[in-house]
């Protein structure tokens, strides 16, 4: 029985989030520069997006660039930004053909002008698509996002728009950059690291975490299917007992 046929399509995660990791190590294994790993990581992005769309997953969030990634060598940062612009431009047609809407979360205003403009255009050009939403986390960190949400709510309370007692979990979720997007049920991290690295800290409160040793450029649809099968074999109790489920 192949791995795909083990997936129960009635119980798919609605939202899968991925920490794409291991591009640099993959390149090093081949004796190549780190950027070669990022370029090959695009193949995995494409395949994962296609597979999620075909299965019927509604949201896929990819951690493409963290706030901390600015600390990398300048040449790598520039190459990543250029790759992003190039990939987004190249993929708009395919995204539209497959009904994929692009969204982005993160401090987008601080992206280089060209990357920012390309991103906003792609978001606008795909806004009519409804089959799946691909969310790119760019210049994103969860602590930044949480602080921004607190500022927004504090300003609303100060101006009298809301009462402090109006702030509940739903109001807080609505103040995050992921407003309107269901929390991910499944979070995948590649490359054998078992860390969250400042990604979606609020939203993953009840996510199932799946860590695989596969380096991101080697990640293929079968790896995604395996992660989903693993997810479907877990018991999600949300604080209840097994007997109560």
List, by residue number, the catalytic residues.
21, 69
CA-to-CA dists, residue 206 to 7, 123, 182, 217, 238, angstroms: 21, 29, 12, 28, 7
Full DSSP string of 181-224? SPPPSEEEE-TT----TTSSTTTTTTPEEEE--S-GGG--HHHH
Separation between Cα atoms, residue 63 and residue 200, nearest integer Å: 10
Window of 7-15, 20-28, 153-161, 230-238 that interacts with ligand FPP by CB under 6 A? 20-28
Among 13, 22, 106, 184, binds ligand FPP (CB under 6 A): 22
CB of 42 to ligand FPP, least distance (A): 5
Task: Write out the H or E segment, with its range, that includes residue 63.
Answer: strand 59-66
- The 95-134 contact track toward ligand FPP, x by CB under 6 A, reads ----------------------------------------
Among 33, 77, 82, 83, binds ligand FPP (CB under 6 A): 83
Binding residue count for ligand FPP, defined by CB under 6 A: 19
Among 21, 145, 183, 185, binds ligand FPP (CB under 6 A): 21
Both structure tokens of 8: 């129960």
Neighbours of 24 (CB within 10 A): 20
CA-to-CA dists, residue 113 to 58, 64, 81, 171, angstroms: 30, 17, 10, 32
Is position 69 an interface residue for ligand FPP (rule: CB under 6 A)?
Answer: yes
Is position 25 an interface residue for ligand FPP (rule: CB under 6 A)?
Answer: yes
Among 55, 84, 104, 153, binds ligand FPP (CB under 6 A): 84
- Residue whose structure tokens are 């991910």: 184
Q: Which residues would be at the binding site for ligand FPP (CB under 6 A)?
A: 20-25, 34, 38, 41-42, 45, 62, 64, 69, 83-84, 87, 136, 191
């Amino acid at each position: 029985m192949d791995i795909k046929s083990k997936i129960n399509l009635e119980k798919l995660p609605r939202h899968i989030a991925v920490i794409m990791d291991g591009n640099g190590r993959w390149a090093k294994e081949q004796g190549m520069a780190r950027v070669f790993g990022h370029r090959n990581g695009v193949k995995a992005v494409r395949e994962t997006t296609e597979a999620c769309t075909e299965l019927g997953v509604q949201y896929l969030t990819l951690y493409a660039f963290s706030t901390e990634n600015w600390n990398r060598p300048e040449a790598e940062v520039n190459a990543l930004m250029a790759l992003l612009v190039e990939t987004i431009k190249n993929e708009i047609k395919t995204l539209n053909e497959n009904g994929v809407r692009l969204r982005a979360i993160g401090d987008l205003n601080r992206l280089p002008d060209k990357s920012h403009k390309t991103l906003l255009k792609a978001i606008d050009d795909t806004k009519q698509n409804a089959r799946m939403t691909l969310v790119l986390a760019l210049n994103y960190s969860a602590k930044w996002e949480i602080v921004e949400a607190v500022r927004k709510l504090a300003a609303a309370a100060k101006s009298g728009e809301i009462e402090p007692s109006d702030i509940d979990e739903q109001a807080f979720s609505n103040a995050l950059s992921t407003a309107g997007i269901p929390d991910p049920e499944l979070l995948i991290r590649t490359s054998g690291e078992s860390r969250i690295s400042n990604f979606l800290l609020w939203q993953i409160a009840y996510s199932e975490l799946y860590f695989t040793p596969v380096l991101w450029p080697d990640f293929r649809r079968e790896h995604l299917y395996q992660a989903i099968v693993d997810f479907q074999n877990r018991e999600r109790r949300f604080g209840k007992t097994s007997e109560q489920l």
